[in-house]
Amino acid sequence: MEHGVDFLETMARGIGRFRQDVFPQRREQFESLADAQQPKALFLTCADSRIVPSMITQTGPGELFIERNPGNIAPVYSGEAVGVSASIEYAISALRTPHVIICGHSDCGAIKGILHPEAVADMPAVARWLRYGDEALRRLGAQAPGAREDEHERLRRLTELNVLVQMEHLATHPAVQQALAEGRLALHGWVYEIETGEVRAYDPARGLFVPFPET
């Protein structure tokens, strides 16, 4: 593993390559974005370093308004100064993004913390944050387990349930409610599989997460 200073040097070299090789080829695009943005979606996903929204979706600068936090959580609206709530409100009210995507992922440490709260007991801020996933855990307990369900399968189901619960939380935000009432907003729930690159989208008609080619 690289030492911190070594990695800073790696990033510095990357910035140099960006300035020398990438930016000149896309100068007009960046110049067009210099004074305004008009993203097509608010992409709310996990802070996990393995999740790169623009790579997964093959989108470019200015197309996604991204909010990241452990567990891709959208807290129930409370009127308090919560960063996630501010991102949601700004994206929908000011930028008028037509889509909101909540994207969970496989092997999520936050989901593991929701399933096993004792694992985060010595991290009080994390433990409090993950309480926003309690409803997903309750629903997992209410479901009949599969005949051969293991830890991996429980994590998979909890990951999907958490996406659905956070979508419900999202709908408590006044900006979301207004945009939905005006017919200018669509909500989406996705799960990304790190190992395979598969993305599953929630299909309300079937009540299932299905691979994108099937949607």
- Summarize pLDDT for 107-145 with one digit per residue, the tens: 999 999 999 999 999 999 999 999 999 999 999 988 766
- Count structural domains, the chain: 2
Residues 30 and 115 in one domain: no
Residues 119 and 195 in one domain: yes
pLDDT per residue as tens digits for the range 27-82? 999 999 999 999 999 999 999 999 999 999 999 999 999 999 999 999 999 988 68
- Cα 34 to the center of its chain, rounded Å: 26
Q: What is the pLDDT of residue 142?
A: 83
Residues 144 and 82 in one domain: yes
Residues 15 and 102 in one domain: no
Residues 126 and 74 in one domain: yes
Q: What is the CATH number of the domain that holds 82?
A: 3.40.1050.10
Residues 76 and 152 in one domain: yes
Residues 58 and 78 in one domain: yes
In this prediction the pTM is 0.93
The rounded distance, in Å, linking the Cα atoms of 128 and 133 is 10
Residues 129 and 144 in one domain: yes
Query: Is the pLDDT at 183 greater than 80, yes or no?
Result: yes
Q: Kindly state the average pLDDT of the residues 23-27.
A: 97
Residues 23 and 109 in one domain: no
Residues 139 and 183 in one domain: yes
3 versus 54: which is more confidently predicted?
Answer: 54
Query: Is the pLDDT at 147 greater than 90, yes or no?
Result: no
Helices first, then strands: H and E counts in the chain: 10, 6
Residues 26 and 61 in one domain: no
Q: What is the pLDDT of residue 214?
A: 58
The range of the structural domain enclosing residue 137 comes to 39-214
Cα angle for residues 182, 188, 192 (degrees, 5° grid): 165
Q: CA 65 → CA 4, 81, 91, 94, distances in Å?
A: 29, 19, 7, 12
62 versus 151: which is more confidently predicted?
Answer: 62
Residues 2 and 97 in one domain: no
